[in-house]
Copies of this chain bind each other. A is one copy, B any other.
């Protein structure tokens, strides 16, 4: 399966918050932009809020970045919206047979390889900051 589109939506939201920082970014406004339901947006924003990436204003409405866009990288965003804990991008097979020569040690062997691959991916995400994304978006507009 693919990694949840929450990640893509989260990046979308954060970029919008930066670009439209003058306006009041309600979940409904953002939903219109992302083309989905406001509740979906609020759910993602809730996760981003818990991770300390955005602030929200209950009652008054609207969300805003809690940090400068150059201080937010995509790995943080990924971690914020990803339900699976780190180190579980690859599913291990549950209960290998301990009586089998392969089963005895397969867990550790696979774990090393899987962790290495997962880290390589995450390092690429860590390299990219939100302001690079925004720059790229605005550049595309010209």
Q: Is the CB of A110 within 8 A of B8?
A: yes
Binds B, one of A47-55, A56-64, A91-99: A91-99
A70 interface residue per 8 A CB criterion: no
- Shortest CB-to-CB span from A135 to chain B, Å, is 9
Q: Is the CB of B84 within 8 A of A113?
A: no
Q: Is the CB of B140 within 8 A of A11?
A: no
A121 interface residue per 8 A CB criterion: yes
- Shortest CB-to-CB span from A80 to chain B, Å, is 15
The CA of A95 and the CA of B9, in the complex, are separated in Å by 11
Knowing A15-B102, A125-B113, A137-B106, say if A97 contacts B2 (CB, 8 Å). no
A68 interface residue per 8 A CB criterion: no
The CA of A93 and the CA of B9, in the complex, are separated in Å by 6
Indicate which residue in B3, B7, B32, B105 contacts A140 across the interface (CB closer than 8 Å): B105
A-B pairs with lowest CB-CB distance, top 9: A105-B140, A121-B121, A5-B91, A117-B124, A2-B91, A1-B1, A33-B100, A120-B120, A8-B93
A residues sitting closer than 8 Å to B (CB atoms) are 1-5, 7-9, 11-12, 15-16, 19, 32-36, 74, 84, 88-97, 100-106, 108-110, 112-113, 116-118, 120-125, 128, 133, 136-138, 140-141
